[in-house]
Amino acid sequence: MSTLNFFKLPDVGEGLLEAEIVSWKVKAGDVVAINDVIVEIETAKSIVELPSPYAGMVAQLMVAEGDTVDVGTDIIAIGSEATAADVASAVAPAEAGASAPVQEKEAEVMKPLVGSGPKADAVRRRPRVSPAPASSPGSAIPGSAGPGSAQANRVLAKPPVRKTAKDLGINLADVVPTGPRGEITKKDLLGYQEQRVAEQQEQVGTFWAPAAASGGPEDPREERIKVKGVRKATAKAMVESAFSAPHVSIFVDVDASRTMEFVKRLKASRDFEGIRVSPLLILAKAVIWAAARNPSVNATWAGDEIIIKHFMNLGIAAATPRGLMVPNIKDAQDLSLKELAIALNSLAATARAGKTTPADMQGGSLTVTNIGVLGIDTGTPIINPGEVAIVAFGTIKLKPWVVDGEVVPRWITTLGGSFDHRVVDGDLSARFMADVAAIMEEPALLLD
């Protein structure tokens, strides 16, 4: 008989507590090799592909796509031999949960890929019950004492479905199951709830069900989105930042006409052929330059001390389909203008594809957010946790501007900076923003 190996959800980041199963790359019966990608998960910071720590045949996917589970939870069972007969015979006692050899094999669990994570409780499985075949209604159900046993009448549903049913006050016995093993799926539950709401509204004779606000039937005109993953992490971080760091914000209008001319020359340069260049590149370089002149804006408040960083891990806030992410360019102060442009392009492409890793978002020292791409003039950004400064880059527009006493059209932008007043006082924040503005007005200063 093949050994049944259970793979637990690992801690793929520092202190990861849970993750969502986004998509399985294998199914029961597939043969996998060590390091084959078997599942894609979404953590609070990124989407990660997990490789298989075992070789063999997939015996069971133990968590459904869309479910969020704790680190240390068994998510897949893999037989050590790729023979269907052995895997089938190994899965049966594992699902019955009563065989001592299988319990011993459950101890042979792969340790988390990164870090230890919280220790998982012992797994307790109840016997799975499959509906009796229509051709033999009197036959006994596997794992039960017979057709009339109490187990035969138990409703099959995964823990998340049971929890949702409990929250909605639904008796699972009233729901018709459509799952492949006769289990009630989340879709079954939501369909039943929609039907129940419709019936209740028909009885009341009104379209709106006011009880929804108090946990009763939901208003069908409302959409409820589960807060999880990146959105959940962002919300937590922003609340902590806004209410722990005393923010002070200042703004400066900048004549970025020479920046626009410089960008145009870079685009035509052979050295930058095939590289996307935008004014954000010049702003990023300006922030690095200005932080070197004003080191205290590149720091962390640690309670009883201020940690000033003599390196720049430049964060770039990126709006992605998964929500706001802030990956950073490591040691950006050491990059040439061309290298910085390549790094910015790579960072943006990776973020849009949802492939930003947790490591890419750790260790940031100062952040830039480009709200100008959305046509916004300026804003008061919230500081990224662990940092003391953030710069918002507004849109660049042709506006009337006074030059040598004459009103002429110039490319104008507004920079907005937010600072942790525990570290950066008004004088320092003003000097830093003035230095950033100086580079935007005259990029040639970067050559000094």
Lowest mean pLDDT among 13-27, 129-143, 291-305, 378-392: 129-143
Q: Are residues 268 and 377 in the same domain?
A: yes
Instruction: State the DSSP code for 293.
Output: H
Question: Where a domain ends, among 106, 136, 164?
Answer: 106
Neighbours of 77 (CB within 10 A): 26
How far is CA 137 from each of CA 16, 140, 147, 152, rounded to the nearest angstrom? 48, 8, 9, 12
Structural domain count of the chain: 3
Q: What is the pLDDT of residue 203?
A: 53
pLDDT at 93 over 60: no
d(CA 259, CA 213): 53
CA dihedral 149, 192, 21, 320 (to 10 degrees): 180
Please give the radius of gyration of the chain, using alpha carbons only, rounded to the nearest integer. Answer: 29
Domain annotation covers residue 319: yes
Q: Give the pLDDT of residue 287.
A: 97
Cα end-to-end span (Å), the chain: 73
In a domain, 274, yes or no: yes
The proportion of the chain whose per-residue pLDDT surpasses 90, expressed as a percent, equals 42
Contacts of 71 (CB under 8 A, 6+ apart): 8, 9, 10, 11, 16, 17, 18, 19, 112, 117, 118, 120
Which residue in the block uniquely carries the two structure tokens 């002429």?
408
State whether 305 and 242 are in the same domain: yes
Tokens 């919230």 appear where? 382
Active site residue 310: no
Q: Supply the pLDDT for residue 408.
A: 96
pLDDT top residue among 122 and 159? 159
Is residue 162 within 8 Å of 171, Cβ to Cβ?
no
Greater pLDDT, 237 or 214: 237
Question: What pLDDT is stored for residue 325 in this prediction?
Answer: 84
**Arithmetic mean of pLDDT, 318-324:** 76
Question: Which of 25, 247, 352, 421 is flagged as catalytic?
Answer: 421
Nearest to 243, CA basis, from 73, 372, 385? 385
Q: How confident is the model at residue 131 (pLDDT cuts 50, 70, 90)?
A: very low
Residue 142 domain flag: no
List, in sequence order, the alpha helices (H) in 77-126.
84-96, 100-106
The Cα 190–Cα 161 span in angstroms is 10
Closest CA to 158 of 189, 113, 137, 121: 189
Element spanning 160, H or E: helix 159-168
Query: How far does Cα 125 stand from its chain's mean position?
Result: 30
Which residues neighbour 19 within 8 Å (Cβ) at sequence distance 6 or greater? 9, 12, 41, 42, 43, 48, 68, 69, 71
Q: Are residues 234 and 198 in the same domain?
A: no
- Looking at the fold, whether 371 and 410 belong to one and the same domain comes out as yes
| Judgement on whether residues 363 and 386 belong to the same structural domain of the protein | yes
**Token output for 139:** 């036959």
> What CATH number is given to the structural domain containing 13?
2.40.50.100
* 148/323 Cα distance (integer angstroms): 51
CATH code of residue 165: 4.10.320.10
Q: Are 67 and 155 members of one domain?
A: no
Q: Of 279 and 44, which is predicted with more confidence?
A: 279
**Is the domain of 280 the same as that of 417?**
yes
Residue 22 has pLDDT above 60, yes or no: yes
The residue range of the domain holding 97 is 4-106
- In the three-class reduction of DSSP (H, G, I as helix; E, B as strand; rest coil), residue 250 is classed as strand
Checking if the pLDDT of 239 tops 80, the result is: no
- How many other C-beta atoms are found inside a 10 Å radius of the C-beta of residue 321? 9
Q: What is the pLDDT of residue 81?
A: 60
Residues forming a β-bridge with 76: 7, 61
- The count of other CB atoms within 10 Å of the CB of residue 270 is 5
* pLDDT, tens only, 395-434: 999 999 999 999 999 999 999 999 999 999 889 999 999 9
Range scoring the smallest mean pLDDT among 155-164, 203-212, 263-272, 282-291 = 203-212
Q: Is 109 left (phi over 0), alpha (psi -120 to 50) or beta?
A: beta
Judge whether 182 lies within some domain: yes
Tell me whether strands 314-320 and 323-325 are parallel, antiparallel or unpaired. Answer: antiparallel
Specify the CATH number for the domain of residue 317: 3.30.559.10
